[in-house]
Amino acid sequence: MDNTLEDRKNFYHILARKMRILILAVSLIPLMLTAGILSYRFHLVYVEKVRAHASELVQKHTQNIDAFLFEKLGNIRYLARGYKDFGPDRSRAFLTENLAALKDEYGDVFTDLGLVDENGVQFAYAGPFRLENADYSDAKWFVASREKPDYISDVFAGLRGHPHFIIAVKTGPGRSDPILRATINFAAFNSLVGNIRLGRTGLAFIVNREGELQTHARDGISETILRDMAGSARTDAQGRSFYADTRDSDGTSYLYVSSTFNHIDWRMVFFQALGDALADQRRAQVLTLVFFSLGCIAILSVALILPRKIVNLIESADRKNQAMNKQVVESGKLASIGELAAGIAHEINNPVAIMVEEAGWMGDLLEDEDPDPGNIREEFRRSINQIGIQGQRCKDITHKLLSFARKTEVPVADLQVNEAIEEIVALTAQMAKYSNVSMETDLGPDLPYIRISPAELQQIILNLVNNAIDAMGKAGGTIRIETRAGTPEGVVIVFSDNGPGIPEGNLGRIFDPFFTTKSVGKGTGLGLSICYGIIRKMGGSIEVQSRMGQGTRFEIMLPVHLDECLPPEELTVKQENINESNKPKRDERDEIIVCG
Amino acid sequence: MNQISQNEMSGMKLLFVDDEKGFVDTLIRRLERRKIDARAVYSGNDAITFLADNKGMDLVILDVKMPGMDGIETLKEIKKQFPLTEVIMLTGHATVGSAIDGMKLGAFDYLTKPCDLEQLLEKSSAAVVRKWNQEEKIQEARIQEICGRRV
């Protein structure tokens, strides 16, 4: 019994575990997949959005700066075209007048204006510094501007030591024509780039073709770092702008966007640490992760508690079901035995009635004075003999009953099916006789022993006999019981009658509990259901075939090896009887018994 | 005329129908000793034949459970062919229900096995008295019918 309890506990434990795994699988896997896919898609979309935004920003500022440079270059070109060889004084006045006009128009963008002759000497100058006659013959911008009609220099410290850049335009097509030079205020120019700010780390700057910085860094960012970044920036940009994810020496990833100018060989460069660019996304991810974790904890709690509760309910329902099954089997047993008892009582009543009459007859004889004492003695002898015969008849009936009843006390035994069939046939013979039913048996030889509860085997056969007798009614008929060895090893019992048969609509329901076609009070509807339950419990099978007006045939297969099929409560009994299981098979001859 | 005298009792004719030969033979022996005309047959079919051959049987005491034609079927046949003949059903306790069904079909009463002889005689005489009363009434009706016709 301990093993059985352990088995059942294991069963419920495994059931709970399976439910737990199932709950986790159907809840967590979709949740994880959904969360993962959504998070990944969101990341892709967000990165795309950040890149697009940065790219748009850089392009817009590139265009602004391009427009700024183009406009300032246009201003100087216009002045250059208006310059004639005025001589030094008029030239100075020309410059001063135009510088004032430019300052009026643009504020402090233009610092000064100067005219430089073919030798690099500034022969006229207007501006805040004393740069008249300054020699630019070695200046890079001067050398470059001699070859082109106009030129915009890189940012450089120059003679004054302040960062600035030069716009130089030739005043005529000849090589000796002076060059009009304007200095652009670096601070004004730098503010165009310095305004580009994104997040904590987003910064923009301009580099020349050699990768040298042309603008200042934002506050707090050293130029060394900017130079490092500019150095690491790609120089193979061909389009208007492009972006890439780069990684610095610390392993920090950066979003990098670059754009080229139309009027000068510079590039606008924008950097932002990816972590900073994706900060909002990170915050959303953290929030999602918190809710995801809470969801997981809730699912885990449900997976831990719910299966245990459900299994407890199932366990309790199983226990009730088992108790109810026992009651159903018990009441079914009582019903079939009750039917048998009614027949037996009638059978005993007849000899008892004879004995009572014989006793009455003897009493009658004693009351009267018979003139022939010899005759009286003869009658007494006959009556006593009759009483003896009828007493013996009663004894035979009670013995059969006792043998039947005794078998109900044994839980499991190795049985010969034939013996049980013969007993039931003998017990029900009288009942069959009154119903005009004849019973035939054809019991096969060499049947293996079946390990079964004798009471349950009796119940199966008795139920089928009772049903057949009831079904055939007053018309009577024949019940035939055959046995033979079955494959796989077991015993096949074929139980057939030539009664009215079972309607096709009822065939599928005859094993259902409480299904009966008998009138109210005559049948419980449990007989066949109990037979089915017992046979299935033994690992056997029962099949039914029926044809209206021709009869019904039940074929029952009972296997020999019932180790896996025995009900848990009988496992221990089976273990005790294990030594008896190798009993030799008993030889039996074919026999046909006809009752009726 | 509820009571019947010993003399009249000896005038009634009883037929026992039961497949238990030992029981019915001894019972008849006891009744004969009481000067009662009692006969026995051992199946329903024999009972119908016997009644057809022996007119004037007053009472049939019929076992409910018999192989072949059972008590209820025999009762139906008797009531159909010999409506004036009274029937008492004889039964084991298990078939009391059938005996009561028999009464609904026209049986006078029922007795359970083993039965007390005095009780059997009492019920038998009551049944026979009813039969005789009915016969008397039929007789009177016929006489009146004949007289009426003459008038």
- Give the confidence band of A596 by pLDDT, cuts at 50, 70, 90: very low
DSSP state of A70: H
pLDDT class of A460 with cuts at 50, 70, 90: confident
Average pLDDT over residues A133-149: 88
* B120–chain A nearest CA distance, Å: 12
pLDDT at B46: 94
Cβ–Cβ below 8 Å for B23 and A357: yes
Quick: pLDDT tens for A36-48.
999 899 988 988 8
Say yes or no to pLDDT of A2 above 60. no
Mean pLDDT of B113-124: 88
Mean pLDDT, all residues of chain A = 79
Q: What is the mean pLDDT of residues B74-89?
A: 93
Check residue A514 and give its pLDDT. 65
Q: Report the pLDDT value the prediction gives residue A247, as an integer from 0 to 100.
A: 61
Q: What is the value of ipTM here, to two decimals?
A: 0.82
| pLDDT for the residue numbered B78 | 94
A342 touching chain B per CB within 8 A: yes
For residues A320 and A466, give the distance between their C-alpha atoms in angstroms, rounded to a whole number.
30
* Between residues B76 and A560, the one the model is more confident about: B76
Partner-chain contact A352 B114, CB within 8 Å? yes
Q: What is the value of pTM for the model shown?
A: 0.48
Band the pLDDT of A229: cuts 50, 70, 90: low
- In this prediction, what percent of chain B has a pLDDT beyond 90? 38
Q: Cα(A276)–Cα(A288) distance, rounded to whole angstroms?
A: 19
Mean pLDDT of the A373-390 span: 87
pLDDT-derived band at A228, boundaries 50, 70, 90: low
CA of A342 vs chain B CAs: smallest distance (Å): 5
Best of A348, A350, A372, A436 to mutate (most B CBs within 10 Å, chain B): A350
Residue A592 has pLDDT above 60, yes or no: no
Using CA coordinates, name the residue in chain B closest to A367.
Answer: B33
Report the pLDDT value the prediction gives residue B88, as an integer from 0 to 100. Answer: 94
Inter-residue contact A481 to A440 (CB < 8 Å): yes
pLDDT the model gives residue A559: 87
Distance from CA of A467 to the nearest CA of B (A): 18
Q: Taking residues A405-433, report their average pLDDT.
A: 79
Provide the shortest C-alpha distance from residue B87 to chain A (in Å): 20
The least confident of A286-300, A526-540, B71-85 is A526-540
Q: What is the mean pLDDT of residues B67-79?
A: 90
Contact: A349, B113; criterion CB under 8 Å: yes
Per-residue confidence (pLDDT) for residue A589, from 0 to 100:
32
On chain A, the residues whose CB falls within 8 A of the CB of B22 are 354, 386, 389-390
Q: Which of A345, A346, A357 sits opposite B30 (nearest CB)?
A: A357
Q: Please give the pLDDT value at position A225.
A: 58
Straight-line distance from the first to the last Cα atom of chain B, in angstroms, rounded to the nearest whole number: 32
Q: Which of B23, B68, B94 sits opposite A436 (nearest CB)?
A: B68
Residue A182 has what pLDDT?
94
Smallest CA–CA distance from B29 into chain A, residue: A361
Buried-exposed string A177-202: b where 16+ CB fall within 10 A, e elsewhere: ebbbbbbbbbeebbebbbebebeebb
Q: Are A513 and A328 in contact (CB under 8 A)?
A: yes
Q: Report which of residues B126 and A336 the model is more confident about.
A: B126
Q: What percent of chain A has pLDDT over 70?
A: 80
> Residue A375 pLDDT > 90, yes or no?
no
The pLDDT of residue A366 is above 60? yes
* Alpha-helix residue ranges (DSSP H) falling in A368-436: 373-407, 417-434
pLDDT of residue B18: 92
Q: Mean of the pLDDT values across residues A290-309? A: 92
Contacts of A436 in chain B (CB under 8 A): 67-68
Q: Which distant-in-sequence residues (6+ apart) come within 8 Å of A574 by Cβ? A: A412, A451, A562, A563, A566
Number of helices and strands in chain B (H, E): 6, 5
CB contact under 8 A, A342 and B117: no
Query: At A459, is the secondary structure helix, strand, or coil?
Result: helix
Q: Check if A247 contacts B (Cβ < 8 Å).
A: no
Greater model confidence, B123 or A562: B123
**Which of B30, B66, B115 is nearest residue A364 as measured by Cβ atoms?**
B30
Q: Which of A354, A434, A596 sits opposite B23 (nearest CB)?
A: A354
B93 to A354: CB separation less than 8 angstroms, yes or no: no
Least confident among A214-218, A413-417, A563-567, B22-26: A563-567
Mean pLDDT (whole number) for B44-61: 92
CB contact under 8 A, A353 and B115: yes
Whole-angstrom distance, CA of residue A447 vs CA of residue A588: 8
CA nearest to B20 within chain A: A350
Q: What is the DSSP string of A1-51?
A: -HHHHHHHHHHHHHHHHHHHHHHHHHHHHHHHHHHHHHHHHHHHHHHHHHH
Whether A345 sits inside 8 A of B29 (CB atoms) is no
Q: In this structure, what token pair is assigned to residue A85?
A: 């060889």
Q: Which chain B residue is nearest to residue A433, measuring alpha carbons?
A: B67
Choose from B29, B64, B70 for mutation: most chain A CBs within 10 A. Answer: B29
**At residue A578, does pLDDT exceed 50?**
no
Instruction: Identify the band that residue A59 occupies on the pLDDT scale cut at 50, 70 and 90.
Output: confident
Q: How confident is the model at residue A365 (pLDDT cuts 50, 70, 90)?
A: confident
B chain contacts of residue A345, beta-carbon cutoff 8 Å: 92-94
Assess whether pLDDT exceeds 50 at residue A593: no
Rounded distance between C-alpha atoms, residue A192 and residue A307, angstroms: 67
Contacts of residue A72, defined as CB under 8 A and 6 or more positions apart, other chains included, come to A106, A109, A110, A167, A182, A184
pLDDT score, position B95: 67
CA-CA distance, A542 to A353, in Å (whole number)? 42
Q: Out of A273-282, A317-326, A479-488, A560-569, which region has the weakest mean confidence (pLDDT)?
A: A560-569
Give the gap in angstroms from C-alpha B73 to the nearest C-alpha of chain A.
10
CB atoms within 10 A of CB A166: 25
% of chain B with per-residue pLDDT over 70: 89
C-alpha distance from B143 to closest chain A C-alpha (Å): 44
Q: Across the interface, which of B23, B93, B117 has its CB nearest the CB of A345?
A: B93
Q: Confidence band (pLDDT; 50, 70, 90) for A159?
A: low
What was the pLDDT predicted at A333? 66
Average pLDDT over residues A256-279: 82
Task: Summarize the confidence of residues A115-137 as an average pLDDT.
Answer: 90
Tell me which of A233 and A303 has the higher pLDDT: A303
- Label residue B145 by pLDDT band (50, 70, 90): confident
Q: Would you call A385 an interface residue with chain B, using a CB distance cutoff of 8 Å?
A: no
Taking 80 as the threshold, does the pLDDT of residue A451 lie above it?
yes
Q: So what's the pLDDT on residue B1?
A: 40
Where residue A313 falls among pLDDT bands split at 50, 70, 90?
A: very high
Provide the pLDDT for residue A227. Answer: 60
Provide, as residue numbers in chain A, all residues whose Cβ is less than 8 Å from the Cβ of B113. 349-350, 352-353
- How confident is the model at residue B53, as a pLDDT? 93
Question: What phi, psi does A589 have (nearest 5°)?
Answer: -90, 155
> Given CB atoms, is A433 within the 8 Å cutoff of chain B?
yes
Q: Do B70 and A474 touch (CB under 8 A)?
A: yes
Bridging pattern class, strands B13-17 and B59-63 = parallel
Higher pLDDT, A240 or A195: A195
A204 - beta bridge partners? A270
- What pLDDT, on the 0 to 100 scale, is given for residue A195? 64
Using pLDDT thresholds of 50, 70 and 90, give the confidence band for residue A572. Answer: very low
Beta-carbon separation of B22 and A354 below 8 A: yes
The nearest CA of chain B is from the CA of A446 a distance in Å of: 36
Q: Is A337 on the interface with B (CB under 8 A)?
A: no
